[in-house]
Amino acid sequence: MSFRILRSSILLVFFFFAVTPVFSAERLRDLSMPLPADLRTFTKIRILVEQDRPKIQVSAPAVFEVLDDQGRVVTNGPKLNGATVRPVDKGIQWWTRIVPTRFLVVRSIGSGIRVGSKGVYRDEVFIYKNAKGKLDVVNRLKLDDYLKGVIPFEGNPAWALESLKAQAVVSRTFALTRMIAREKEEYDVSSGVISQVYAGKEIENAKTNEAVDATRGEILLYKGKIFPAYFHSTCGGATTAADLVWKVKPHPALSGVECKFCQKSPHYKWEAVVTSAEIKEKLAKEGMPVDGVLGIRTDKIDRTGRAHQFVIQSTWAEKRVDADGFRVWIDPMRLKSNMITKIRANDAGAFVFKGKGWGHGVGMCQYGMKYLGELGYGYREILSYYYPGAQASRLKELEG
């Protein structure tokens, strides 16, 4: 997968898992979270790497051990050659042996644990029998090792070191909020794309590793509490407030700032052509049929210039749709943001959307942060600019 495609996929995945669209009918969520009493249990992250498999093959080139859900040793040895694991009525079958357990833990030192043909994972692999009677595989590894595999893609090794350090603190903070919120679940991060990203050690990079190491144990706090440090590619001139985008309580560190620093981003201005047939088809798929699309305009425009509704004029009626939903349904890779500057019909009867920025617009603008790093700003200055009132704090217990 090329860097560009992979990066786009990650942004897309990030968009899906980070965003609860404003149209969902839930109470206003508080983004502020108190820090857990013992942070030492949060130095390892759990990533879902396989889901709903009828069987899997596991191997390890070095010393290994396999434990059941009571911590009892099922087997161990100097090397593991392709064990086949299957879910069975009474538990999990390891080669020919049936182990009455909800999950197995495979541990190996050194070269990692190979699961199927796809990935080699560090430290520990949990194999769960799920509610459907299939296997889910979860890798548990040090949070900073995970970050070393993710930052080369969430950022770019060509960026200034201070920018990469800002990204490392933001990614660590964001991951930790997921870990705290999902403590009772089987895994913290569920993305297949993200798990592939860190799966190979070859994607690690000396400079991004340096950024992770230099910020060891550092997360963003606002008045002593953690919050999801959202970020996006390009704001297009101003970041926006989390409470304008999602059903959340206003948060001072996610209230939006002016940003003149992302003008060199390739996504600063964009144009997308969408035919009325495509709009009709995609809205119908979402259970919102329109009998034709005669025109489109934006509405509910916030103080940063982002629209929160699209108004679709069809033959018989006007239909109002949530702007975030509309972008996702049509194509978030083409309709890159809700900061729409113009919509016009072209001669072929399609609609030309002109807009600025890429992403939801909440939190740090990555292209702005990249430029501030080039200008010589330190990562803590960059972070306090995009997250007003928040501070990067080093927590010893998190250092692992």
Point out which residues bind Zn ion (CB under 5 A): 235, 259, 262, 365, 368
Please state, in angstroms and rounded to a whole number, the distance separating the CA atoms of residues 49 and 191.
Answer: 8
Q: For 379, phi and psi rounded to 5 degrees?
A: -65, -30
Please state, in angstroms and rounded to a whole number, the distance separating the CA atoms of residues 181 and 177.
Answer: 6
Q: Smallest distance, Å, CB 266 to Zn ion?
A: 13
Nearer to Zn ion, 105 or 259 (CB): 259
Nearer to Zn ion, 91 or 256 (CB): 256
Take residue 159 and report the two structure tokens written for it: 């960026």
Q: Smallest distance, Å, CB 307 to Zn ion?
A: 18
Q: Smallest distance, Å, CB 116 to Zn ion?
A: 40
Nearer to Zn ion, 259 or 390 (CB): 259
Q: Smallest distance, Å, CB 47 to Zn ion?
A: 30
Take residue 54 and report the two structure tokens written for it: 């009828």
Nearer to Zn ion, 91 or 368 (CB): 368
Nearer to Zn ion, 169 or 362 (CB): 362
Q: Smallest distance, Å, CB 367 to Zn ion?
A: 6
Please state, in angstroms and rounded to a whole number, the distance separating the CA atoms of residues 368 and 361.
Answer: 12
> Under 8 Å CB-to-CB from 32, ≥6 apart: which residues?
222, 223, 225, 226, 227, 251
Nearer to Zn ion, 330 or 365 (CB): 365
Take residue 244 and report the two structure tokens written for it: 């304008």
Please state, in angstroms and rounded to a whole number, the distance separating the CA atoms of residues 358 and 353.
Answer: 14
Q: Smallest distance, Å, CB 343 to Zn ion?
A: 23
DSSP state string for 147-195: HHHHHHHHS-TTS-HHHHHHHHHHHHHHHHHHHHHTTTSS-SB--HHHH
Q: Smallest distance, Å, CB 61 to Zn ion?
A: 46
Nearer to Zn ion, 232 or 251 (CB): 232
Please state, in angstroms and rounded to a whole number, the distance separating the CA atoms of residues 323 and 337.
Answer: 9
Contact 224, 218 (CB under 8 A): no
CA nearest to 219, candidates 177, 156, 277: 177
